[in-house]
Amino acid sequence: MEYAGFWVRFWATVIDTLIFTLWSIPLMYTIYGDSLLTEPKWIMGPADVLINWVVPTVAVILLWRNRQATIGKMAFRAKIVDAKTGGVPSTRQDIIRYFGYLISLLPLGLGFLWVAFDPRKQGFHDKLAGTVVVRGASR
């Protein structure tokens, strides 16, 4: 297995973020109008929670379950696999990995940066979930 390194994963995240942004901002503006720009709040309302928190969480976990990758990872032929077996991670691993992003983010993003230094290119979220990201594997 060839582990997907920091830059591949970084650019995959950029692609995913662009796709999400192109979807969410117009929808948020349709619902909240100019107040989205003039009265920015941490949470604008129930639709904000749904659009920016619930839907992305469900979408990412479903993509991981069905494709072992987000669209950004697919663009680089990268996928998430179980670190021990190289097989498809369990739903439990996918959920732990997703919420492990918070742990990777909290110490100034160190958990994501750790991918650049780890021999198996695992971020903190990968270590928690028992997953690795590999490249070039067939789907």
Starting at the edge strand that comes first in sequence, how are the strands of the sheet with 131-135 ordered? 2-3, 131-135, 78-82
Segments making up each domain of the chain, as ranges? 2-135
If we measure between CA atoms, which residue out of 3, 120, 133, 138 comes closest to residue 70? 133
pLDDT in tens, 65-91: 999 999 999 999 999 999 999 999 999
Residue type, 38: T
What is the per-residue pLDDT for 139?
46
What is the per-residue pLDDT for 111?
95
User: Residue 89: what are its φ and ψ, rounded to 5°?
Assistant: -65, 155
What is the per-residue pLDDT for 42?
80
The pTM of the full predicted model, rounded to 2 decimals, is 0.87
Segments of the chain with pLDDT less than 50: 139
What is the per-residue pLDDT for 137?
58
